[in-house]
Amino acid sequence: MKIQTTINGKQTTLEAAPGETLMESLRSQALFSVKHGCETGDCGACGVLVDGLPRASCVTLTAQVEGRAVRTLESLGGPDDLHPLQQAFVDKGAVQCGYCTPAMILAALSLIDRNPEPTVEDVKDALSGTLCRCTGYVKPVEAVLAAARQLHETHA
Amino acid sequence: MLDHIQSYVRPASVEEALAALSGERTAIIAGGTDLVADGARGVDTLVDITALGLGDIQEAGGEIRLGACVTLHQVAESARIASYLNGIIGEAARASTGSLLRCAATVGGNVVTATPRWDVVTALLAADATVTLTSGETSLADLLSDGFPKGAILTGLRLPATPAGTGSSFHKIAINALDVGIATAAVRLTLDAGRLYGVRVALGCVAEKPVRVRHAEDVLEGYEPTPSRIQEAAENATQGLTIREDVRAAADYRDAMARVAVRRALEEAIGRATR
């Protein structure tokens, strides 16, 4: 099937089998920030944004994003120009093995876009889709709150 | 990769969708969270129903209408849903799963699969939801016990208006904050001149699908909510049910927790009805 979609802002035609998952398609486009975890939608390592909202790409068929905009971590900054969210994760020590990090950052980005002044509970809920075995969640929550404050100040 | 899927269509009308579903090995896909995770065995054609305009929450004549493709995220964020039945439907939607699957999972899909994860179905059952299908209308309770009619499409759910003095509660007992429940209870009832009416008690995760526990309802309907009646209703809540056993709970523990969940939900609903 040919699936017309926008990936990280760029109009793209994906060639995919009807039963192919979005995770597989994105990784075959070398977007390796999308991690291959449980394949059942439970771990959340595969989290991306579809039309600005979090989505588990391992239980989304590529065909489902026809006409939609998909965003992965690669659309944020690179090593030399980190997005404030990425920088906050570094500064707060919120990255250990890093496997959950892309999905958490994208979920946080989606939250802050919709809710520029999130509470701790808002952040915890936004990150609830992605499991983390390393950090115990405290540092990622702190990082998101810090980034939200910084982004809010920048735009105020 | 679901290798056996050969065809994926997204029709623009209900008529087209029904025609596409008339084949032998077809299945509906909305959010796809259950379908893709479970592998869609025995299916070669998927019919995507997300382009049929079924994604809205509307109000008409005091009742709330949920389109089949309304996501749990929409339910959780809706101010109207939050103000209905003490917010138990939004609460149950948030309890059902984390933020990732919420944005894909749909109320229609949840009602059709009705697996223990989807707490929102238990809350909808206590709300006395009516299900609208292309083949007609039925109560959610009947749909869950009778099964889904082949070839039909679930297009929406209707939630009735409730009188003053109505209180509702949703209570989930689970191992941790995001796990599938051991037992979940949802209650809706109305207090009028000191007596209970319209009592609905729904249990999830206990039987194979969410159920209304009529034994508990009958103990309370028309009576004053005394502590002994509430206790009796809770003790009768699992009567006649075949209790599920899984990695989270053995049958006897689940049975005990179900009765605790019902008692807590009843107490909270009655407290809310009184305010």
- Contact between B156 and B230 (Cβ < 8 Å): no
Q: Which two tokens stand for residue A81?
A: 């120009």
* B2–A61 CB contact, under 8 Å: yes
B217: tokens are 């309802």
* CB within 8 Å: A61 and B8: yes
B10 touches chain A (CB under 8 A): yes
A34/A31 Cα distance (integer angstroms): 6
Q: Which helix (H) or strand (E) holds B157?
A: strand B154-159
Cβ–Cβ gap B33/A127 under 8 Å: no
**Whole-Å CA distances, A59 to B1, B37, B108, B184:** 10, 6, 17, 26
**Has residue B275 got a pLDDT over 90?**
no
ipTM of the complex: 0.95
Query: Are B37 and A66 in contact (CB < 8 Å)?
Result: no
Task: Say what the pLDDT of residue B145 is.
Answer: 95
Q: Give the model confidence (pLDDT) of B9-41 as tens digits.
A: 999 999 999 999 998 899 999 999 999 999 999
CB contact residues (below 8 A), chain B span 160-219, against chain A: 177-178
| Contact between B126 and B206 (Cβ < 8 Å) | no
CB distance B99–A21 less than 8 Å? no
CB B17 within 8 A of CB B152: no
Residues of A in contact with B37 (CB under 8 A): 39-41, 59
Q: Which residues of B touch A61 (CB under 8 A)?
A: 2, 5, 8, 29, 32, 36, 46
pLDDT at residue A156, rounded to an integer: 58
Cα three-residue angle B42-B36-A42, rounded to 5 degrees: 140
pTM of the predicted protein model: 0.96
B101 touches chain A (CB under 8 A): yes
Please list the residues that pair with A110 across neighbouring strands: none
A–B interface: beta-carbon pairs under 8 A: 91
Q: Which of A24, A59, A128 sits opposite B32 (nearest CB)?
A: A59
Tokens standing for B56? 């809205």
Q: Is A156 exposed, middle or buried (0-12, 13-18, 19+ CB in 10 A)?
A: exposed
Residue A45's pLDDT is: 98
Is B110 within 8 Å of chain A by CB?
A: no
B238-269 pLDDT, tens digit each: 999 999 999 999 999 999 999 999 999 999 99
Subunit contact A125:B94, Cβ cutoff 8 A: yes
Q: Which residue shows structure tokens 């588990």?
A: A56
Tell me the H-state helices in B43-139.
72-77, 79-82, 88-96, 99-102, 107-113, 119-126
Per-residue pLDDT of chain A (156 residues; tens, 9 = 90+): 999 999 999 999 999 999 999 999 999 999 999 999 999 999 999 999 999 999 999 999 999 999 999 999 999 988 999 999 999 999 999 999 999 999 999 999 999 999 999 999 999 999 999 999 999 999 999 999 999 999 998 775
**Distances from the Cα of B223 to the Cα of B133, B202, B219, angstroms:** 35, 19, 8
Smallest Cβ–Cβ distance between A61 and the set B36, B100, B103 belongs to: B36
Tell me the pLDDT tens digit for each residue of B49-99.
Answer: 999 999 999 998 889 999 999 999 999 999 999 999 999 999 999 999 999
Q: Inspect the interface and report whether the beta carbons of B104 and A44 lie closer than 8 Å.
A: no
Q: What angle do CA B171, B72, B82 make, to 5 degrees?
A: 60
Scanning the structure block, which residue is given the tokens 């093995």?
Answer: A97
Question: Which chain B residue shows the shortest CA-CA distance from A66?
Answer: B10
| B101 contacts in chain A (CB < 8 Å) | 41, 56, 59, 129
Q: Determine the distance in angstroms separating the CA of B216 from the nearest CA of chain A, rounded to an integer.
A: 34
Residues 6+ apart with CB under 8 A from A44: A37, A56, A100, A103, A129, A130, A131, B98, B100
CB contact (8 A) between residue A128 and residue B98 = yes
Please write the tens of the pLDDT for every residue from B115-169. Answer: 999 999 999 999 999 999 999 999 999 999 999 998 999 999 999 999 999 999 9
Taking the C-alpha atoms of residue A94 and residue B243, their distance in angstroms, rounded to an integer, is: 42
Cα distance from B138 to chain A (closest Cα, Å)?
A: 29
User: Up-side HSE of residue B149: CA atoms within 13 Å toward CB?
Assistant: 14
Are A44 and B100 in contact, with CB atoms under 8 Å apart? Answer: yes
Which residue is associated with the tokens 């997300």?
B50
Distance, in Å, from the CA atom of A49 to the CA atom of A32, rounded to the nearest integer, reads: 15
Alpha-carbon distance values, A56 to A18, A98, B96 (Å): 17, 17, 15
